[in-house]
């Protein structure tokens, strides 16, 4: 196993950070790694808002559902779909298609993962913050995003002050299908539920008594941020 | 610069492959690397369809807009948003929210980038195939995707039979904003246009006389796959 694969497979989300800052060199490397990512048709549709203002950090931590590490992490980056850039260059550009929002979301994931892995390879840690989508319009206003630009998620980065266990995942047999979609093997999910039950019961903090199926059913049988469609549409995105 | 950052920053899309296969060990490592990725609320909403059937590969190459490497690459993986998995476990699950499609697209990007980097770290190469979205319903039918599962993009992987140059990207100053969105600096784009003009004129194959602004304006002033919204809605996704 080479060090790239070790870094990738050693990922744990880090939510507790030392007060040590990230050096300018390290941050430049993290950003350059993000920018080196594949970009659909070289459109380069992602902007990153680096939030250094402590007051804005405090607001964002609140908007994300009181996640204190948004305030305390050495760096906090917000990944945005940005077609304002292209529209500024030429108003003939039509950012309103769902296709372009999909490209933005996929490319943001690709770019952000490069950033996270670059950070992890330097001994830093981080976590994705989807919770910003709890209050998209408020986050958008705070970061002064123009029309045709929408925020997607944040990322905390810093020097880890915790060493959590690896979190078990569904087995590869469930994730990978050959040539055509295969129905879910419920027995494999039951085994995984048992694994997750043991994981949650034994982990060092935030223990719970729950398997995976229960957890995802609880989450997904509620409405999932039903205002996100309106938010995107209000930015002139995902309309058609 | 450590080897993780070297791999990340050394990325070039590879579209020409040797006939050498990818070993089972290598493929298992690539998949395990994908699965190790962050997953929003641990929902694990991605399925990968590995296409080994030569007839299906030929069809997919055609659907992607006659991209021959879809047929000739050692491996071809299709990344899908999969809420059929969760719906199978419990029909109370509501996959119809835009939020859940966004999560799927971002998480597919994160997972796929882990796969690509793992492959690149082993001397393999690859390229994302967004062109599958030229014919989403046909690709969907070919892979027999159920309701609540939608294909997003493909990935070719194999032993590189080309050694392309690094493709220049927009400078970090354009991508990264501090605390609030900064208007586009047109002068920086003009310089980048010049860089891209030189790159396209000088590269070893597929030379063209174009800057970046021209290229993206040409692309984005047309309708962008206007049937993608219908496709997602037909799968019970991104409706609300």
In a domain, A239, yes or no: no
- The answer to whether A238 contacts B238, with C-beta atoms less than 8 Å apart, is yes
How much is the pLDDT for B65? 97
In a domain, B196, yes or no: yes
- The answer to whether B118 contacts A33, with C-beta atoms less than 8 Å apart, is no
User: Please, what is the average pLDDT of chain A?
Assistant: 97
Is residue B126 over pLDDT 80? Answer: yes
Looking at B122-236, list the stretches that DSSP marks H as alpha helix, in order from N- to C-terminal side: 136-142, 172-175, 186-202, 212-220, 228-234
Which tens digit of pLDDT belongs to each residue from B52-69? 999 999 999 999 999 999
What six digits make up the tokens of A178?
């050959």
Is B101 in contact with A238 (CB distance < 8 Å)?
Answer: no
Find the mean pLDDT for residues B195-206.
Answer: 87
In a domain, A240, yes or no: no
DSSP string, A116-129: HHHHHHTT-EEEEE
- The answer to whether A106 contacts B107, with C-beta atoms less than 8 Å apart, is no
How much is the pLDDT for B187? 96
Is residue B206 over pLDDT 90? Answer: no
Is A150 in contact with A102 (CB distance < 8 Å)?
Answer: no
- CA-CA distance, B201 to B226, in Å (whole number)? 32
* HSE, side-chain direction, 13 A CA sphere, residue A131: 18
Find the mean pLDDT for residues B84-112.
Answer: 98
| R_g of chain A, CA atoms, integer Å | 19
The answer to whether residues B138 and B194 belong to one domain is no
Best of B79, B92, B102 to disrupt the A interface (most A CBs within 10 Å) is B102
What are φ and ψ of residue A183, in 5° steps?
A: -55, 150
In a domain, B239, yes or no: no
Which tens digit of pLDDT belongs to each residue from A201-217? 888 777 888 899 999 99
| Residue B131 DSSP SS3 | helix
- CA-CA distance, B17 to A205, in Å (whole number)? 47
DSSP A155: E
What six digits make up the tokens of A62?
């609140």
- The answer to whether A95 contacts B219, with C-beta atoms less than 8 Å apart, is no
- CA-CA distance, A138 to B59, in Å (whole number)? 46
- CA-CA distance, A45 to A237, in Å (whole number)? 13
- Enter the pTM of the model: 0.98
How much is the pLDDT for B153? 98
Is residue B205 over pLDDT 80? Answer: no
The answer to whether residues A146 and A186 belong to one domain is no
Best of A31, A60, A109 to disrupt the B interface (most B CBs within 10 Å) is A109
The answer to whether residues B130 and B79 belong to one domain is yes
Smallest CA-to-CA distance from A52 within A143, A180, A174, A187 is with A143
The answer to whether residues A105 and A10 belong to one domain is yes
Buried b (16+ CB within 10 A) or exposed e, B62-71: bbbeebebbb
| Closest chain B CA to residue A90 | B217
Is residue B50 over pLDDT 90? Answer: yes
| C-alpha pair distances (Å), B6 with each of A7, A37, B10, B34 | 13, 12, 6, 19
The answer to whether residues B187 and B153 belong to one domain is no
How much is the pLDDT for A204? 74
The answer to whether residues A11 and A111 belong to one domain is yes
Find the mean pLDDT for residues B187-200.
Answer: 95
The answer to whether residues B200 and B154 belong to one domain is no
By residue count, chain A amounts to: 240
Q: Where residue A28 sits, what CATH number does that domain have?
A: 3.40.109.10
Looking at A67-207, list the stretches that DSSP marks H as alpha helix, in order from N- to C-terminal side: 68-72, 84-89, 98-121, 136-142, 172-175, 186-202
Number of domains, chain A:
2
| Residue A182 DSSP SS3 | coil
Domain that holds residue B150: 3-165+223-234
């Amino acid at each position: 196993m080479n060090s790239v694969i070790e870094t990738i497979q050693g990922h744990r989300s880090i939510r507790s950070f030392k007060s040590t800052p990230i050096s300018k060199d390290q941050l430049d490397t993290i950003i350059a790694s993000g920018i080196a990512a594949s970009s659909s048709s070289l459109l380069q549709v992602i902007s990153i808002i680096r939030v250094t203002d402590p007051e804005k950090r405090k607001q964002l931590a609140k908007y994300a559902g009181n996640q204190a590490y948004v305030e305390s992490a050495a760096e906090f980056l917000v990944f945005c779909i940005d077609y304002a850039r292209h529209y500024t260059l030429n108003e003939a550009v039509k950012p309103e298609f769902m296709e372009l929002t999909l490209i933005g979301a996929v490319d943001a994931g690709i770019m952000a993962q490069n950033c996270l892995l670059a950070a992890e390879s330097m001994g830093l840690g981080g976590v994705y913050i989807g919770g910003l989508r709890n209050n998209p319009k408020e986050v958008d206003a705070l970061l002064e995003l123009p029309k045709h630009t929408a925020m997607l998620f944040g990322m905390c980065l810093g020097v880890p002050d915790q060493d959590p266990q690896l979190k078990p995942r569904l087995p590869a047999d469930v994730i990978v299908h050959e040539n055509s979609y295969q129905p879910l093997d419920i027995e494999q999910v039951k085994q995984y539920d048992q694994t997750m039950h043991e994981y949650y019961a034994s982990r060092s903090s935030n223990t719970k008594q729950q398997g995976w199926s229960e957890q995802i059913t609880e989450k997904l049988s509620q409405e999932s941020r039903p205002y996100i469609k309106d938010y995107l549409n209000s930015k002139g995105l995902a309309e058609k």
